[in-house]
C-alpha cells in the first residue's frame, strides 16, 4: 500500500471558541494535529489551559443568567435555532466530511452517510424544545401541586475521537434543546470539525456564550472543566478509566451531575437457524465498522456449534476482502487507526490472543510503514478468559467464540464488567426475546446490529456507565425537576 497523500482541504478555524468569538489561548499555547493516514502534521491548534476554561465557563454562566437573551428565548424559538444549525450542517456537509476524513482517517463515504443521521438528530431535538413540561400532581389534603422542568445550567461536554462530529451532535442536541449553556471539549486528536460546528452555531444565531468549544488535553482542560465550581453537569463519552476520574472530580468539587458513556465488550450471539451469509455480514459490520473504534462494537461474536466452522470460514473470507487504504478512495472500507498508541495496543492484543491459544485465522499485522493501518483480523477458538475476550481492543479484531445452548450463552454474555450493547441473530422469536430480556445491556439489537436512531436512547449499565444519549431520556440528564406546592384555599 502506498503512502496516502494529504488532500488539499482548507482549515478554517484553529482557535478556541469562547463567547461567540474565535480567540487564541491566553497563554498562546498550541498543539499539533495529525493526519493518521500519513502521520504528517495537519496544523497547530490553540491549546486551552485552566484560565481559558475559566473564561469559557464565565461566558456560559453569563449566558445562562436570569434575563439573558438565551434564558428569555421562547422554547419554540430555541427549536428554530437548532433547525437553522441543522440547515447549515447540511449546507456544509461535504466540507465537514472531507475535514473529518482528513483528521480522523474515517472513510469519506462513511462520513457522508453519518452526517445525514446527525442532521436528523438535530431536527429531532429541535422539535422537542417546546414539548418539555412538568405535571400536575394529585397531592394529599387540600393542596394543589405541579412540577416544572428547568435546565441544569452550565454543562461541560467531553467527547472522544472515534466519531468527532457525531459525538458533538449527540451532546449538543439535548443541551441546547433544554436551554442549557455549554463548553464542549473535543478530543485532542480530532478537534478540527468541532471548531467548524462552533462557527455554524454562531451563524445560526445562538446568543453569545451559549456554545463554547475548547480544544486541549484531558488532564488539563478536561480536568479543569470537571473541577470547576460553576459547571453543574459533565457529560462524558470515553474510557472507563477516565469515567472513574470524572466521578472523583465531581465529588471533589460541587457534586456536579455526571453522565457517562464508557467502554464495552458487547456480545453478538448467532444461533444455528440464522442465515449464515446474512449473519456473517452483520457480524462483520458489527466489529469492523469505523475500524473497530466503536464502544458498542460486537467484539465477542458467539456462534452456535452447529454452524461454527462454516461461519468462521465465511467470516475469514469477508475479512480478507475488506479493503484497507486511503480513506478518500471510494472503494476503501477501512482507513487508519487514530494514532500510534492505538495501533500499538491493537498489535499487543493480537499477540496476546496468539499466546493464549486462540487461532489467528487472518490478519494481525500492521499494513505498510506509513500511517496507522491494521489488517482486518479474525480469531477463532477464542475462550472466555482470554484477554481478547475480556478487554476492549478498540480495533479491527473479530473474536469468534463457540456456544451450545441459550442459557449458556446468556450467562457467558453477562460475564463481563461491561453492559453497553448486545445483539442476537436468529429466526426463533423465543430465543430472541428470552436473550433480549436476560442480557445485561443498554441496547439490544435483534437480527441487526448498531441500529441507532435519534428516537432511541443509547447508554449502558455496569462499567459501561450511566445516563443516556439520544431519545427523550437524554433530556432528563440536562433538566432539574422543581416541585411547586400551593395550599388551597389561599389565605393571605
Which are the catalytic amino acids? 261
Please answer whether residues 279 and 270 qualify as being in contact, where contact means their C-beta atoms are separated by less than 8 angstroms.
yes
Distance CA 243, CA 260 (A): 7
Q: How many CB atoms lie within 10 A of CB 267?
A: 28
Residue 87 makes CB contacts below 8 A (sequence gap 6+) with: 204
What's the CA gap between 462 and 454, in Å, rounded?
Answer: 23
Largest separation between any pair of C-alpha atoms in the chain: 83
Grid coordinates representing 429 are 422469536
Note the helical H segments in 402-480.
406-414, 429-438, 473-476
Tally of helices (H runs) and strands (E runs) in the chain: 16, 24
Contact between 22 and 191 (Cβ < 8 Å): no
Closest Cα to residue 461, out of 419, 401, 413?
419
Distance CA 354, CA 115 (A): 38
The CA distance from 244 to 92, in Å, is: 37
Residue whose cell numbers read 428516537? 455
Measure the CA–CA gap between 376 and 324, rounded to whole angstroms: 8
Beta bridge partner(s), residue 237: 261
Q: Give dist(CA 65, CA 57) in Å, integer.
A: 12
Q: Residue 487 class from Cβ within 10 Å (0-12 exposed, 13-18 middle, 19+ buried)?
A: exposed
Amino acid at each position: 500500500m502506498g503512502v496516502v497523500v494529504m488532500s488539499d482541504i482548507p482549515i478554517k478555524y484553529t482557535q478556541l471558541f469562547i463567547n461567540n468569538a474565535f480567540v487564541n489561548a491566553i497563554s498562546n499555547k498550541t498543539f499539533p494535529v495529525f493526519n493518521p493516514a500519513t502521520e504528517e502534521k495537519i496544523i497547530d491548534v490553540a491549546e486551552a489551559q485552566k484560565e481559558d476554561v475559566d473564561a469559557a465557563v464565565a461566558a456560559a454562566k453569563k449566558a445562562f443568567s436570569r434575563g439573558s437573551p438565551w434564558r428569555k428565548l421562547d422554547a419554540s424559538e430555541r427549536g428554530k435555532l437548532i433547525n437553522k444549525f441543522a440547515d447549515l450542517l447540511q449546507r456544509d456537509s461535504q466540507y465537514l466530511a472531507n475535514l473529518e476524513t482528513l483528521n480522523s482517517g474515517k472513510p469519506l463515504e462513511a462520513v457522508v452517510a453519518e452526517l445525514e443521521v446527525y442532521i436528523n438528530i438535530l431536527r429531532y431535538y429541535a422539535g422537542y424544545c417546546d414539548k418539555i413540561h412538568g405535571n400536575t400532581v394529585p397531592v394529599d389534603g387540600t393542596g394543589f401541586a405541579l412540577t416544572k422542568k428547568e435546565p441544569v445550567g452550565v454543562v461541560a461536554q467531553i467527547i472522544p475521537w472515534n466519531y468527532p462530529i457525531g459525538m458533538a451532535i449527540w451532546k449538543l442536541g439535548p443541551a441546547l434543546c433544554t436551554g442549557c449553556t455549554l463548553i464542549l471539549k473535543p478530543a485532542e486528536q480530532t478537534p478540527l470539525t468541532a471548531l467548524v460546528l462552533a462557527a455554524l452555531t454562531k451563524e445560526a444565531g445562538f446568543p453569545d456564550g451559549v456554545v463554547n468549544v475548547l480544544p486541549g488535553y484531558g488532564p488539563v482542560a478536561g480536568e479543569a472543566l470537571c473541577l470547576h465550581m460553576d459547571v453543574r453537569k459533565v457529560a462524558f463519552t470515553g474510557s472507563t478509566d477516565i469515567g472513574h476520574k470524572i466521578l472523583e472530580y465531581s465529588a471533589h468539587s460541587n457534586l456536579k451531575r455526571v453522565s457517562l458513556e464508557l467502554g464495552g465488550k458487547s456480545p453478538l450471539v448467532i444461533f444455528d437457524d440464522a442465515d449464515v451469509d446474512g449473519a456473517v455480514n452483520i457480524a462483520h459490520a458489527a466489529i469492523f465498522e469505523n475500524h473497530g473504534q466503536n464502544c458498542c462494537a460486537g467484539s465477542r461474536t458467539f456462534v452456535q456449534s452447529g454452524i461454527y466452522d462454516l461461519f468462521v470460514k465465511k467470516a475469514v473470507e469477508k475479512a480478507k476482502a475488506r479493503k484497507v487504504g486511503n480513506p478518500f478512495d471510494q472503494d476503501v472500507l477501512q482507513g487508519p487507526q487514530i494514532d500510534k498508541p492505538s495501533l500499538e495496543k491493537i498489535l499487543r492484543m493480537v499477540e496476546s490472543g496468539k499466546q493464549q491459544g486462540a487461532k489467528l485465522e487472518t490478519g494481525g499485522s500492521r499494513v505498510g510503514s506509513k500511517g496507522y493501518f491494521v489488517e482486518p483480523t479474525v480469531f477463532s477458538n477464542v475462550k472466555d478468559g482470554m484477554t481478547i475476550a475480556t478487554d476492549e481492543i478498540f480495533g479491527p479484531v473479530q473474536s469468534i467464540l463457540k456456544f451450545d445452548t441459550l442459557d449458556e450463552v446468556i450467562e457467558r454474555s453477562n460475564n463481563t464488567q461491561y453492559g453497553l450493547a448486545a445483539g442476537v441473530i436468529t429466526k426463533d422469536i423465543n430465543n430472541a426475546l428470552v436473550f433480549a430480556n436476560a442480557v445485561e445491556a443498554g441496547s439490544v439489537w435483534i437480527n441487526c446490529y448498531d441500529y441507532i436512531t435519534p428516537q432511541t436512547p443509547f447508554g449502558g449499565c455496569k462499567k459501561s456507565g450511566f445516563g443516556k444519549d439520544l431519545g427523550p431520556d437524554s433530556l432528563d440528564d440536562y433538566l432539574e425537576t422543581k416541585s411547586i406546592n400551593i395550599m388551597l384555599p389561599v389565605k393571605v
